[in-house]
Amino acid sequence: MGLMLRAVPGSNDIFPQAKEYPFREPVFRHIVRTAEEVLRNAGAQMIHTPIFEQLEVFQRGVGLTSDIVVKKEMFVLEDRGGRLLALRPEPTAAVVRAYNEHGMKVWPQPVRLFTWGPIFRGERPQKGRYRQFHQVDYEALGLADPLLDAEAIALMVRIYRTLGLRNLEVRLGSVGDPEDRARYNQYLRGLLMPHADRLSEESRARLEANPMRILDSKSEQDQAVLAELGVRPMLEFLGEEAQAFHEQVCRYLERLGVAYTVDPSLVRGLDYYVRTAWEVHHMAIGAKSALGGGGRYDGLSEMLGGPRVPGVGFGIGIERVAIALEQEGVVVPPDPSPTLYLAPLDEPAKIEALALAEQLRPRVYVEIGYTPKSPRKALEDALRKGAQYVGFLGEAERARGVITLKHLQSGEQREVEPFQLHSLFEE
RNA sequence: GUGAGCGUAGCUCAGCCGGUUAGAGCACCGGUCUGUGGAACCGGGGGUCGUGGGUUCAAGUCCCAUCGCUCACCCCA
């Protein structure tokens, strides 16, 4: 059995009997449907973009200093013409690409879209982190108003709460405008350069290109240096406009009654983010793991060769939400069970059962037994399936042209003619 | 990329200080029960003990290697 093919590490089958909660199809579907309902009722429209794009869609948007590129976390493939494609490592750039491609800038703004589907990152898998995982994603494009940021955060929280999650923490920050970030990086360089020899190799390498990322270094020596120097957070370097924008988002959230904490040191892995950035955390997944995150990306469209299109959006990690739901003991609605279970009692009854089932479908949820069994076994099967009615088809029924129909809850049983079944169940 | 842990039936696992034919529970199939309630009892199928090598009279058990899985670091969803 050693040679039997398996799923690629970090990719998972999602099916009803899956042992791990995040891969149980009904749980998965419940999360998707709930999110879909919340977002549709907020007026967002569903879009599905391809799961692969030209590499540049993600490369340009993501920025050269970003870890997704630097650490080669993208799955890149080459088509026959030598064109480089990439499995999407995030949905936002693809949605913005679609917005531009279909001229959505002439639609009434903002254009609010949502999608869900697989996302791919070539990281080493572990709990709550997979190479193929799934996100629900929401984007509000075409209007740079803090109202949309606040709405996005509120919608995200609403999805979690509708699912039944408690113990949420919204961490809100701002990464400022590009000029603010440049100023902050300048500040960091000036502060850290004299102490470069005490920083880790990785951090030293980041000092020139992207000093902000030194702040979340996990190296103890780095953190010791940072603490000693008393580094000021990004949030204190916001320009006037970014500052006003951030304050407005906070005020709106308070008005909406959405609880949040300001995280002054919140940074983003992708270069296209500006101003608002947030993460929603849950205790279940561990201190470092977020259920979802979002932010504003006003410069992204231009990086993709499009017009200037402001945007704000979020992604929700479906598997991580499932882990949180399990942790909180939230019960997911079970799949419906059959109204009728048709049980063939002998060989010729198999096709009779199927024929009858096919007459009743799809208006009635009908399952059949595929192997003739004793009435006792057939009844057990029907009970296990949770059927409302069981219909026996055997020799006696054939002789009289009827089926024996039994209501499982009451135990009542009678013989009915097949044509009567339609009116019995179709209501 | 770095570190740790774990690989015995479809699943969860037991298997002592190395000892004869490798076990249990769950699941599946059948019988008791030849046309009626999830039970119970009995039976059955299913294993090259991840793989390769070594030590030994003897290896699921000890040693080495290798592969796989999982968790953690990093990053984030």
Cα separation, A35 vs A84, in Å, equals: 33
Residue A280: which nucleotide is closest by CA–C1'?
A: B77
In three-state secondary structure terms, A313 is strand
CA distance A215 to A264: 12
Distance, CA of A103 to CA of A260 (rounded, Å): 36
Strand B reaches within 7 A of the A135 CB: yes
Q: Does the CB of A293 sit below 7 A from strand B?
A: yes
CA angle at residue A264 from A244 to A139, to 5 degrees?
Answer: 65
User: Which nucleotide has its C1' atom closest to residue A291's CA?
Assistant: B77
- How many angstroms is C1' of B47 away from CA of A2? 13
pTM confidence score: 0.91
Q: Determine whether A343 is exposed, middle or buried from the number of CB atoms within 10 Å of its CB (0-12, 13-18, 19+).
A: buried
pLDDT at A1: 42
Going by pLDDT thresholds of 50, 70 and 90, the confidence category of residue A2 is: very low
DSSP character at residue A195:
G
Tell me the CA distances in angstroms from A5 to A18, A111, A133, A340, A347, one per residue in order.
Answer: 18, 44, 21, 38, 37
Strand B and A345 CB separated by under 7 Å: yes
What pLDDT band is residue A200 in, cutting at 50, 70 and 90? confident
Q: What is the pLDDT of residues A268-279, one digit of tens each?
A: 767 788 999 999
Lowest model confidence (mean pLDDT) among A76-80, A131-135, A136-140: A76-80
Lookup: nucleotide whose C1' is closest to A290 CA: B77
Contact between A221 and A193 under an 8 Å Cβ cutoff? The reply is no
Q: Count other C-beta atoms under 10 Å from residue A25's C-beta.
A: 14
**B chain positions with any atom within 7 Å of a protein CB:** 1-2, 10-12, 28, 30-31, 33-39, 47-48, 50-51, 68-77
Question: How many angstroms separate the CA of A126 from the C1' of B67?
Answer: 19
Can you tell me the ipTM of this complex?
Answer: 0.86
Nucleotide minimizing C1' to CA distance for residue A393: B35
Q: Over 70: is that where the pLDDT of A227 sits? A: yes
Q: Kindly state the tokens that stand for A75.
A: 């799955």
- Inform me whether the pLDDT recorded for A308 exceeds 70: yes
3-state secondary structure A339-392: CEEEEECCCCHHHHHHHHHHHHCCCCCEEECCCCCCHHHHHHHHHHHCCCEEEE
Distance CA A209 to C1' B29 in A: 66
Q: Give, in Å, how far the C1' of B63 lies from the CA of A9.
A: 30
Handedness of CA A38, A43, A46, A49 (dihedral sign): negative
What is the average pLDDT across A304-308?
93
The nucleotide closest to A267 (CA, C1' atoms) = B76
Query: Which secondary structure element, helix H or strand E, spans residue A76, and what is its range?
Result: strand A76-78
Q: What percent of chain A has pLDDT over 90?
A: 56
A45 touches strand B (CB under 7 A): no
State which residues between 359 and 378 of chain A bring their CB within 7 Å of strand B: 371, 373-377
Structure tokens at A293: 């995150």
Q: Which stretch, A110-119, A219-228, A377-386, has highest mean pLDDT?
A: A110-119
Average pLDDT, integer, range A223-232: 79
- Angle of CA points A384, A386, A388, to nearest 5°: 135
A20 CA from B55 C1′ (Å): 41
Residues 256-285 (A) near nucleic chain B, CB < 7 A: 267-269, 279
What are the pLDDT digits (tens) for A351-402? Answer: 999 999 999 999 999 999 988 888 988 998 999 888 999 999 999 999 999 9
| A265 CA, B20 C1': Å apart | 68
Asked whether residue A380's C-beta has any atom of DNA/RNA strand B within 7 A, the reply is yes
- d(C-alpha A252, C-alpha A150), whole Å: 6
Q: Which residue is nearest to nucleotide B34 (CA to C1')?
A: A374
Residue A288 has pLDDT above 70, yes or no: no
CB-strand contact A382/B, under 7 Å: no
Residue A291 CB neighbours (<10 A): 24
